[in-house]
């Protein structure tokens, strides 16, 4: 098989000029079935190409071509914007596919964000003041000692102040 890959270029040379081909190429083609088959296929292709006749062009072809060339030369030059528009409208649609994919992606992201309510990510929610008060009351409810101290202060404010060793009240000292 290694020898066959080396013979591929030499087969074309043998096809064009069989007498100039080296003896080792002729011997290899005589022994190797796949190379002989490739050579026969090339000969069949060449025979088909030799049998094919080129159709004659229309007698008016050159006249029409000359007229169209003259029209193009005499036509006013288009501006760059007109050429760009013509290329976008009449050109291949391949350049519009990435733009369409990007636009669709942006629309999906914006639409999904609006649907999920994630559009106000940059604006923080103001803290709920009622929630802080409720949380403080729940903490106080759970701490009976703090409630007892608050009741003692509210019942007798003077006693509560004087009993406090850390008090800064000058009357209690």
What is the C-alpha separation between 172 and 129, in angstroms, rounded? Answer: 37
The pLDDT, as a whole number, for residue 136 is 77
pLDDT (0 to 100) of residue 163 = 52
Q: Give the pLDDT confidence score for residue 69 in this predicted structure.
A: 94
**Can you list the positions of beta strands (E) in the chain?**
none
Q: Read off the pTM.
A: 0.35
pLDDT in 10s for each residue of the chain, 173 residues: 567 777 777 888 888 888 888 888 888 888 888 888 988 999 999 899 889 888 888 889 999 999 999 998 998 888 988 888 887 777 776 677 777 889 899 998 888 777 776 655 666 666 666 677 777 777 767 776 766 777 878 776 565 455 555 555 555 54
Nearest of 104, 100, 102 to residue 112 by alpha carbon: 104
Pairwise CA distance, residues 113 & 56, whole Å: 65
Distance of CA 90 to the CA centre of its chain: 25
Q: CA-to-CA distance for 68 and 78, rounded, in angstroms?
A: 17
User: Which parts of 10-164 are beta strand (E)?
Assistant: none
Q: How many residues does the chain have?
A: 173
Residues 6+ apart with CB under 8 A from 78: 86
**DSSP 8-state class, residue 94:** G
How many Å apart are CA 41 and CA 29, to the nearest integer? Answer: 13
Cα separation, 153 vs 142, in Å, equals 19
């Amino acid at each position: 098989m290694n020898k066959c890959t080396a013979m591929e270029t030499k087969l074309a040379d043998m096809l064009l000029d069989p007498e100039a081909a080296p003896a080792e190429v002729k011997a290899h083609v005589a022994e190797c079935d796949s190379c002989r088959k490739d050579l026969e296929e090339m000969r069949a292709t060449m025979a088909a190409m030799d049998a094919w006749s080129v159709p004659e062009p229309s007698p008016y072809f050159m006249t029409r071509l000359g007229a169209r060339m003259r029209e193009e030369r005499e036509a006013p030059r288009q501006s760059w914007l007109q050429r760009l528009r013509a290329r976008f409208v009449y050109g291949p649609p391949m350049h519009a596919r990435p733009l369409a994919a990007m636009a669709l992606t942006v629309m999906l992201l914006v639409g999904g964000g609006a649907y999920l309510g994630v559009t106000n990510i940059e604006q923080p929610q103001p803290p709920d003041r009622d929630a802080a008060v409720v949380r403080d009351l729940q903490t106080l409810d759970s701490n009976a000692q703090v409630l007892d101290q608050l009741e003692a202060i509210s019942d007798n404010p003077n006693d509560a102040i004087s009993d406090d060793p850390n008090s800064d009240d000058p009357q209690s000292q």
